[in-house]
A and B are shown apart, each in its own frame.
Chain A
Amino acid sequence: MIKEILKNVFSKKQVIQFPEGFKVSPEQKAKIVDFQKKIDTIFRRSLRIRQVDAGSCNACEWECTALTNPIYDIQRFGIDFVASPRHADVLLVTGPVSRQMELALKRTALATPEPRLVVACGDCAKDGGIYKGSYAVTNGVANVIPVDAVIPGCPPTPTAIILALSELIDKVCTMN
């Protein structure tokens, strides 16, 4: 293992901005590069996300986890998932918000310092999705806390999540 680590440190490998597995069109690439510049200037190279599962089936969580794998590697854009809401700029909420998670979600939102952005990630978070109308869900994040952006998809792919975040930051920039 040490050999492998040393090989990576001393080899003259070039940084590949978009590895083969990261399937994006040239326009999308331009968008992501522009997004990174905005993070550099507005958020001083650090946009921090706190992910909250409010009753999702866990597919959306795995897509968020996939964002941190070496293929998507969102840390290189300055984005990262943090452990505490107190460190977060963005609250990324998944799931239709089950009633037994409503209070925990509200409290997590309260613990996130202003100005904060709330993103509803996935079809369930958008309006309850397939679970819409069930007695134990509140049919979407917007019914519990104010939402700034919605990412559709069941689940949205890692690329879709990055692009949606870039659109949200664009929106915030034009507002200011």
Chain B
Amino acid sequence: MERVRKKAVKTWEHLNESSFEVRTDDFRDVCRHLYEDLHAILRVMFACDEREKDGLFRIYTVFDLPGHDRFFIIVLPVQESDPRFPSLTQTIPAAHWYEREIRDLFGLSAQGHPDGRRLVFHEAFPADSHPLRKDWSMSETDKQEWGGGTTIKVPHPFMEVSGEGIVEIPVGPVHAGIIEPGHFRFSAIGETIFFLEPRLFYTHKGTEKHFETLAFPEGVKLAERVSGTSSFAHGAAYCMAVERMLGIAITEKASAVRTLVLELERIYNHIGDIGNMCAGTALSLGYMKGAVIKEQLMQLNEILTGSRYLRGLNVVGGVTKDVFEQADDILKTLDGATREYKALMELLLGSVSHVERLENTGKLSKDIARKLGVTGVAARASGLTDDLRKSHPHLLYDRLIFEAHTHEKGDVLARMMIRAEETECSLSMVQALLEGGYTGDLTVPLKAAPPFASALGYVETPRGSLFYWVMSDKDGKPLRVKLRSPSYCNWPAVPFAVHGNIVPDFPLCNKSFNLSYSGTDM
């Protein structure tokens, strides 16, 4: 760390965030040192248009050092007259999407990035148009042409595999099932997938820009609608970021409610995912049993919060309802669900045809998982101990007894087993949480946002680590809201996991990751 401190032009601290502003020449070396010598994980990288403050763009690279409850943020100022910065991708492969995204949204280009294509915008989006710049606007004609989709403004060549016996199979964006849109291009030799290139961002809704139009307290509603099945986690992470920026601490009661509901969200997602994997192996009985348990849990969600997706409970400064008053409902439903869930697991693990399909399918190696910054269930199934609840204890997680489960194999079975173990663990965590008495009001009064203040918010969602970063402008309104969903980190790993598998196993591999398109596309 000394080396980073020495190279820093400016250093500042806020809660568990240490920020170091560095010069362009030192940027790559400082990041390389953190990543290679100190084994830091690149959590998120983004730009911010701070020209109204001091005429500069800034690039924030957030590192997480194993063993420290502290985030190290490397800040790089970029001049408007010279909109370039050194690319990290060659050293830190996990930076590859972030850097392409920064180019698309801000027009700052990463020098030395191996992929010159756009990431977020498709062919019909005009060149040199960068929506997250504050002075950006778009003509009606451009919008019409973008939606029309047939005017090619910037071509997007897919990577091609050539050779004898290679067939290309394009799939999507509209798929056969009830799922989200995305385009997949398989290059297959017979039935075996040799190469897969996903094309996402069909559901890009301009979420980050839209956050800037809403006042901080109203942003929760939008955060809850970024990714359906992680609604509560997104709301909680957003609230946490805003609360940390405002410098307010929520009460013990509110923390307990958030912790409890985060675990309930994890349970319904994990059980639902285990059931859905059965759809990938045509085990209808398991699929339907999983769906029934999930439905019971979603009805519990509705009883607790009025929303089957746990929406409306989070507000900046706390929560709207004390769900502990309904502890009986929770215990009753979980009791029944646990029994059915155990029977389901017995059925699945006792079915040789099911387990045989999962074993050795969709293997993701530990090395690739680390290089791509894979997070959550996928990371833990490949042997990485990555769990924000452990490494950065937030809310009441430091009081609960649990462990970060890991498996070494990285196949579909490992991902299922991680979910199964975590479900059991979460069930006991809910029991423990319901026993304690918690004090404090549901909400605390808000303060006015100081000018140009920023903070991170983070939670461990059922899919993995989720980050929000917020910054206020001179009037205390949102200048920038960055969100990084776990799916964003895990999508680039899917092509590596399916390499060498047969095309019919792709849905199974995909279901074992269960990634959100909407959370990725923003």
Q: Which residues of A contact B (CB under 8 A)?
A: 1, 4-5, 21, 23, 51-66, 68-71, 81, 83-85, 95-96, 98-104, 108, 124, 129-131, 133-138, 144, 154-155, 157
Contact = CB atoms under 8 A, between A and B. Distances in A.
12 contacts: A55-B181, A56-B180, A70-B291, A71-B295, A98-B205, A100-B202, A101-B173, A103-B149, A108-B174, A134-B207, A135-B131, A155-B308
Contacts of B138: 135
Most buried by B among A133, A144, A155: A155
Given A134-B210, A157-B308, 14 more contacts: A1-B285, A21-B296, A53-B181, A56-B203, A57-B228, A59-B309, A61-B228, A100-B201, A100-B203, A101-B202, A101-B203, A103-B149, A108-B174, A155-B309
Contacts of B248: none
A51 B201 CA distance: 19
A113 B294 CA distance: 35
B298 A136 contact: no
Contact of B177 (A5, A56, A83, A157): A83
Interface string B158-186: 00000000000000011011111100000
Given A58-B228, A135-B143, A154-B225, A104 B205 contact: no
Contact of A55 (B205, B231, B294, B299): B205
B291 A66 contact: yes
B148 interface: yes
B295 A66 contact: yes
Interface string B205-216: 111011001000
B292 interface: yes
B439 interface: no
Nearest to A73: B288
Contacts of B299: 21, 23
A103 B174 CA distance: 11
Contacts of A81: 178
Given A61-B228, A101-B181, A102-B147, A69 B174 contact: no
A60 to B, nearest CB: 8
A155 B299 CA distance: 14
Interface string B131-142: 100000010000
Contacts of A108: 174
A64 B292 contact: no
Most buried by A among B176, B205, B350, B518: B205
B180 A103 contact: no
Nearest to B176: A83
Given A58-B227, A59-B228, A61-B228, A104 B202 contact: yes
A120 to B, nearest CB: 16
Contacts of A135: 131, 138, 143, 206, 209
Given A53-B203, A155-B309, A69 B291 contact: yes
A70 B292 contact: yes
B122 interface: yes
Interface of B: 121-122, 131, 138, 143, 146-150, 173-174, 176-181, 201-207, 209-210, 213, 221-222, 225-229, 231, 285, 288, 291-292, 294-296, 298-299, 302, 308-309, 311, 347, 350-351, 516-518, 521
B494 to A, nearest CB: 17
A55 B288 contact: no
Contact of B178 (A23, A61, A98, A124): A61
A116 to B, nearest CB: 15
A136 B148 contact: no
B149 A61 contact: no
A95 B213 CA distance: 20
Contacts of A103: 147-150
Contact of B174 (A58, A63, A64, A104): A104
Most buried by B among A58, A63, A133, A144: A58
A21 B295 contact: yes
B205 A137 contact: yes
A91 B272 CA distance: 26
A21 B201 CA distance: 36
Contacts of B209: 134-136
A136 B227 contact: no
Contacts of B309: 59, 155
A81 B179 CA distance: 12
A96 B521 CA distance: 14
B178 A130 contact: no
The 4 closest A-B pairs by CB, nearest first: A59-B228, A103-B149, A136-B206, A83-B176
B220 to A, nearest CB: 11
A57 B122 contact: no
Nearest to B299: A21
A104 B178 contact: no
A64 B148 CA distance: 28
Contacts of B298: 66
Given A131-B205, A134-B207, A57 B518 contact: yes
A124 B205 CA distance: 11
A65 B511 CA distance: 14
B163 to A, nearest CB: 31
A18 to B, nearest CB: 14
A58 B205 contact: no
A130 B521 CA distance: 16
Contacts of A61: 178-180, 228
Contacts of A68: 291
A59 B205 CA distance: 15
A67 B387 CA distance: 34
